[in-house]
Chain A
Amino acid sequence: MLGVMYALVAVGFTLFFGVLDVIHFSHGDIFMLGAFAGLTVLAGLKAAGLGGALLALPLTFAVSIVATGLVGVLAERVCVKPLARASPLMTLLATLSLGLVIRESVLIFYPRGADPKPFPQLLPQGGVELGGFVVRYENLAILGIGLAAMVAVDRIIKSTKMGAAIRAVAQDPEAAQMMGVNLDRTVDATFFLGSGLAAVAGILSGLYYSEIHFIMGVTGGVIGFSAAAIGGLGNVYGAILGGLLFGVLQTTAAALIPRGSEFRDVVAFAVVMLFLVFKPSGLLGDKSVERV
C-alpha cells in the first residue's frame, strides 16, 4: 500500500527528469499540497451536504488533481523553466526553496496548519480473512486506485499524442521541436501530469493514515526521489518498481528489526545509498548516469 503511494510520487520525479533533466525538489511538497487540496474539497462537499463516499471520492480526486496539477505547472514556470540554462545547482536550490515556501504557506495560511489534520475515512472498513491474513477492504481500495492511476499514466504516455510528445522531448528536445512538438506545452503537460499523480498519492496517503500533516511532504519527497533513483531516473516503470520496492523495504524493516517502526526509514535510506554505490543507474535506468 505504501509502495503504491511512493510509486506515484516517484513517477512524477522521473517524468520531470526525463523531460527537462531536472530534479524538481518541491515535488514532495506538491504531494502534501495534493493531500490538503483533497481535505479542503472533502470539507467543502461535506458543508454542501454531499457527504456520500460514492460521489465525494471521485469528485475529490478530480478537483485535487486539477488544482495540484496547476500548482505544479506554476512551480515549473516560476522556478524550473527560467533556470533551465543555469547550472543544475541553481535549479536544485530554487526548487528546494520553493518547497520551503509551499510548506510554510500551508503551515501559516491553512487554518491551524501546524496540527496534524484528521482525514475522513471514506473507504469501506472491515476486511476479509484469507488464509490467516486479514485483508482490509480499505487497503484493497487504495491498491486499486493506485494501480488504476498507474495504468492511466501508462496509457497517456503510450497512446496519446501528448504522451508521444513527452517521450520525444525526453529523448531529444531539439529533434522533437524540429518535428513540430511544442516544447513549452509538452513540459507544462508533463508537470501537470506528474503533479496530478502526486495529488492522487497525497489523498491516498490521507486515506491510509487517516491524517495528514504539513511536514509529510519532506519525507514523502525524499522517499519518492529515492524510489525514482532506485528504479533508474527517467524510466517510468523503474519508478513504479522502485516505489514498490521501497515500500517493501520499509515494511520488512519494521517487521524484522526490534523497534523497527522507528528505524524503518534509516534502513530504507541506507539501502538506497548502497544502491547508489553499486548500481548508480538504477534497476531499469535507460538514461546512463553521468559518472565522468
Chain B
Amino acid sequence: MSRDLAGVWLAEAAVFALVVAAILAERPWALGATGGALVAAGALVRFVPRLGAALVGAFARRRAAALAGGAVFALALPLALRSSPYWTFVATLALLYVTIGQGLNFQLGTAGVINLAGAAFAGLGGYAVGLATVAGGWPSWLAVLVGPWVAVTVGTLLFVPILKTRGHYLALVTIAFVFIFNILVNNLEFTGGPQGIKNIPTLSLGGYAFTTRPALAGVDLPAHANFYYAALAMAGLTTWVLRRLHDSWLGLALNTLRDDEITARCCGVSVTRGKLLAFSIGNFFIGLGGAFYAVMVGFVSPPDFDFGYSLVMLSVIIIGGVDSIPGVVLGACLLVPLPERFRFLHEYRLLLYGVVIVVMLLYRPRGLWPAQIRRYR
C-alpha cells in the first residue's frame, strides 16, 4: 500500500516538475526537451500497459492522497513561478476557465442545454461588477458576489424563448444573445461604449488589497499570487460543488433529460424545472468567472466578451470531455497556457482551436478525459 502512495506522489511530482520546467524554459531546446519529456511520459503510461494499469490502480486506491498531493502542488505553483508574474497571471486565467468551464459543462454536458452565450454571461458578471463598483461605489468583494446573480437573472429571462425551443433553435437564441449583448454594451452610454469600464477597484478584504505582493515565510511571491490563490479556491469550490451536484439525483435526472426527454418525463423529471436549474446554476459560475476577471484585470470592454470567447469556452469542454468534471479541469489547464507558451503561433491560435475541435469531434468525441459511467455503491 505504501508503494501506491509513493507512486501517486512521485507521478504528481514528476508532472509538476516537468510542467514548471516547460513553462519556465526560455530556450527553444529546453522547451523542446521538457515538452518532449511530458509527451514521452504520457506515451509511456499509455503504451506500457503494466505501468499504466499500476498507476491507474494506485490513483484509484489512494484518491484522497492523490487529491491532497494535487492540492499541495497547486498551492506551490506560485512559489515555483516566482520569477515570472506573467505566468502566475496565466495560471490564474486557467483557473478562471476551470470555473467557467465547469459552469458551462453543467449546462451543456450534464443537461444538454446548448449555451453559445458563455461570453455574454461572463460579460454580464464582469459588467455588473464594473458598474456596481465604479458607478455605484460598492466594495469589490460585494460586487463579485452579486455579479453572478445578474447573469442568472438575465439568463432566466432568456430562458423563456429557450423553453419552447430545442437543439438548433437553442443555439440560435444563444448566439443571437451574444450579438445583442455585444451591440448593446458597445453602444449604450452607461456601459462606456467601446471603451468599456476602466479603473475597477481591485479586491480587498479587511484593508488588504489583493495587488500587494504577498510574502510567505520570507519568500516574496509574484504580484498575482493573491489572485491565483483566490481563483484556486474558487475553481476548487466550483469543481467540488458541481461534482456533488453531478453525482446527486439532480445530475442523474439531468443526464436522463439530455439523453431522452420523453423518458425523463415518464420518470417524473420536470423538463422545464430541470433545464432552468441547470441553465441558472451554470450561468452563475460563468458569471462568477467573468466577475472575478473584472476585478483581477481592472477593466472590462466589449472585445473581452465577444463570440470568439464563447467558442474558446466550448473548446475547453470538448477537449477535456463533455460531462466529465476532471476533463474540464484538464481542458482548461491545457487550452489556456499552451497558446501563451507558443506565442509565435498566437496569430494562428483560433485557427488551431477550430482545427483541434473538428479533429477531436471526428476522432475522439468524448474528449481527452472521457466521462466515466456512473457507479453507485
Residues of A within 8 A of B318 (CB): 93
CB-CB contacts below 8 Å: B155-177 with A: 160-161, 164-169, 171-173, 175-177
B53 on the interface (CB 8 Å rule)?
no
Q: Which of A78, A98, A290 contacts B167 (CB 8 A)?
A: A290
B358 A23 Cβ-Cβ under 8 A: no
A292 to chain B, nearest CB (A): 6
Known A263-B183, A269-B180, A290-B167; 13 more pairs at CB < 8 Å: A23-B168, A89-B114, A92-B167, A97-B315, A97-B358, A98-B354, A100-B357, A108-B347, A229-B172, A233-B168, A259-B187, A262-B187, A276-B173
Q: Which of B161, B176, B351 contacts A104 (CB 8 A)?
A: B351
B307 on the interface (CB 8 Å rule)?
yes
CB-CB contacts below 8 Å: A77-103 with B: 78-79, 82-83, 86, 88-90, 92-94, 96-101, 103
A32 to chain B, nearest CB (A): 14
B350 A280 Cβ-Cβ under 8 A: no
8 residue pairs, one from A and one from B, having the closest CB atoms: A100-B354, A104-B351, A101-B354, A97-B357, A269-B176, A23-B168, A97-B354, A273-B161
Q: State A103–B354 Cα separation when bound (angstroms).
A: 10
Name the interface size band of chain B.
Answer: 35 or more
Q: Could you name 6 residue pairs across A and B whose Cβ atoms are closer than 8 Å?
A: A88-B168, A100-B308, A226-B172, A269-B180, A274-B161, A292-B261
Main SS class of interface, B: helix
Q: State A222–B174 Cα separation when bound (angstroms).
A: 11
B183 to chain A, nearest CB (A): 5
A225 B172 Cβ-Cβ under 8 A: yes
Q: Which of A90, A289, A291 contacts B365 (CB 8 A)?
A: A90
B39 on the interface (CB 8 Å rule)?
no
B184 A266 Cβ-Cβ under 8 A: yes
B112 on the interface (CB 8 Å rule)?
yes
Residues of B within 8 A of A272 (CB): 172, 176
B240 on the interface (CB 8 Å rule)?
no
Q: State A52–B203 Cα separation when bound (angstroms).
A: 64
CB-CB contacts below 8 Å: A90-141 with B: 90, 92-94, 96-101, 103-105, 108
B348 to chain A, nearest CB (A): 7
Give the nearest-CB partner of B322 in chain A. Answer: A89
Q: State A94–B357 Cα separation when bound (angstroms).
A: 7
Q: State A79–B358 Cα separation when bound (angstroms).
A: 7
B228 to chain A, nearest CB (A): 30
B172 A218 Cβ-Cβ under 8 A: no
B303 to chain A, nearest CB (A): 12
